[in-house]
Structure 1
């Protein structure tokens, strides 16, 4: 099992990547149709992932349990990202990250109703508080970067991502993180082929701008390869709820990055809603955070 320092560094790197990925996604679709940006991301990421496996001489299991794990892992890739990319037309990068901040609550609900895990009263209160904050953001939907349809898409995206964590842990395949990431990218790439007939009319006819190209490369290398390696490494070594905490740390950072680098102007009502959501998440994790402090 990796050392505590190793896991902390992996955790920190994952938080940084996920705080910057929403903006990279928004930039990558500036000159490309959103679904083509998604498809190209997997088409290019797959050979790179296979190359890494070959260079590091990592075994790629192909038994039934491993294949099930790859399918479950693809839920957090194409299963989740197809809705995230579609939502870029309706939400700012900061709000996309904020919606992913609801992953712990979604994970809690999946654990409660799908896996019979108990939730404390304070966790239910945290959920209700965050939903109130989300409702406040929805009511400000007249803004160009805040539209309810985008929020609905992101809720589906977050559900797929959260469900993936539980399924990968439940399957519990004895697969190295990089092999798991490669297998999940492979399944996602095969599913991406099914999108081609529907998006062929939007095929890129010109070379994207430098900013869009850089953003696309960033999503491929950082979000699809490095982040997925970190993610599956943490899935194997941490509880699902603890891993979901990564998405609590990213929203405000992502909102600030979007405001500074992409000039995303959000109303005071949206910031109040975001603050309420984060306070709800604090209540949800209060027991876990208190237990962690006692262990230190």
Structure 2
């Protein structure tokens, strides 16, 4: 059982990190909001019959459905819209991952008053060590000029989106069935992204094999697999511990970049990975008697 409990967060980190790889693969062939609209529109279409066939319970009130939709807007429209737009604007995917990797610090700063969770001094130390580790891994990619400042701002919008979605999900939607909850989220995100993509510019879209593969991977592995694990982890653990897993995403994304795109991964990056793992271990360490 302990082995399984350890494998689930590891699987989540790996799956989540591939999202940046999938974005890098697909974004050259479609604008970011169009790409996301295609992704979540397809995910919603696939999820609806699954909900009906399995007789998944729907949220009991329109108020609760609104809460679920809000999580979808924060997570899938604001977070991914910001990150994908940043990558499309020229910000390296590793830099975007680093910015979003600041989420545990932002979560810890607001988690106390919102959710009543305590963050110990040891956990704060873990946050600091993890941040240093992430910076070391991606330090070589943090060279951008003023022309990329808009892309950096968009990445920070994504950071605010994913942090808000995590806290909102924990506070208002923790008891909602995952199947119907994800359908509502994907449908809400699609309804918002469609007019935005039409307003900003729907195309051009190049229907290449790379685009189809990226969409299939992001829908099946990320939208279904990783998001399911993410919400289950939020239900089972404190939000501050769950979001500490995001510290592992940039190093893993860098490793995947080295494997699939021949990006360099030197000794300093490997040392940063070790620091990041140590920081996550400290954040996730349960207090004595807890």
The answer to whether the superposition gives a TM-score over 0.5 is yes
Superposed, which structure 2 residues align to 1:87-236 within 5 Å? Answer: 87-89=86-88, 90-112=90-112, 114-115=114-115, 117-125=117-125, 127=127, 141-142=142-143, 149-172=150-173, 174-200=175-201, 202-204=202-204, 206-207=206-207, 209-236=208-235
Query: How far 1:6 sits from its partner (Å)?
Result: 6.0
* Alignment-derived partner of residue 272 in structure 2: 275
Distance in 2 of aligned mates of 1:36 and 1:4? 41
Is the 1:126–1:281 contact (alpha carbons within 8 Å) kept by the matching residues of 2? Answer: no
Instruction: Select the residue among 17, 20, 35 that pairs with 1:19.
Output: 17
Query: How far 1:84 sits from its partner (Å)?
Result: 0.7
Is the 1:7–1:234 contact (alpha carbons within 8 Å) kept by the matching residues of 2? Answer: no
How many residues align? The count is 286
Is the 1:127–1:281 contact (alpha carbons within 8 Å) kept by the matching residues of 2? Answer: no
Residues 21, 196 of structure 1: CA spacing in aligned structure 2 closer, same or farther, 3 A cutoff?
A: closer
* Alignment-derived partner of residue 40 in structure 1: 38
Residue by residue over 1:152-205, the C-alpha shift from the partner in whole angstroms, topping out at 9 and shown as x without a partner, is: 3323212211221111111145311122211211211111123133233x4235
Unaligned runs of 5+ in 1: none
Query: How far 1:72 sits from its partner (Å)?
Result: 2.4
Is the 1:101–1:250 contact (alpha carbons within 8 Å) kept by the matching residues of 2? Answer: yes
Is the 1:84–1:154 contact (alpha carbons within 8 Å) kept by the matching residues of 2? Answer: yes
Query: How far 1:237 sits from its partner (Å)?
Result: 1.9
Distance in 1 of aligned mates of 2:140 and 2:13? 29
Normalised by the length of structure 2, the TM-score is 0.81
Unaligned runs of 5+ in 2: none
Is the 1:87–1:154 contact (alpha carbons within 8 Å) kept by the matching residues of 2? Answer: yes
Query: How far 1:142 sits from its partner (Å)?
Result: 3.5
Is the 1:75–1:160 contact (alpha carbons within 8 Å) kept by the matching residues of 2? Answer: yes
Is the 2:130–2:278 contact (alpha carbons within 8 Å) kept by the matching residues of 1? Answer: no
Query: How far 1:243 sits from its partner (Å)?
Result: 1.4
* Alignment-derived partner of residue 237 in structure 2: 238
Is the 1:65–1:173 contact (alpha carbons within 8 Å) kept by the matching residues of 2? Answer: no
Residue by residue over 1:249-278, the C-alpha shift from the partner in whole angstroms, topping out at 9 and shown as x without a partner, is: 322121011122123357988x49x929x7
* Alignment-derived partner of residue 282 in structure 2: 286
Residues 124, 59 of structure 1: CA spacing in aligned structure 2 closer, same or farther, 3 A cutoff?
A: closer
Is the 1:122–1:283 contact (alpha carbons within 8 Å) kept by the matching residues of 2? Answer: no
* Alignment-derived partner of residue 83 in structure 2: 84
Residues 268, 288 of structure 1: CA spacing in aligned structure 2 closer, same or farther, 3 A cutoff?
A: closer
* Alignment-derived partner of residue 69 in structure 1: 68
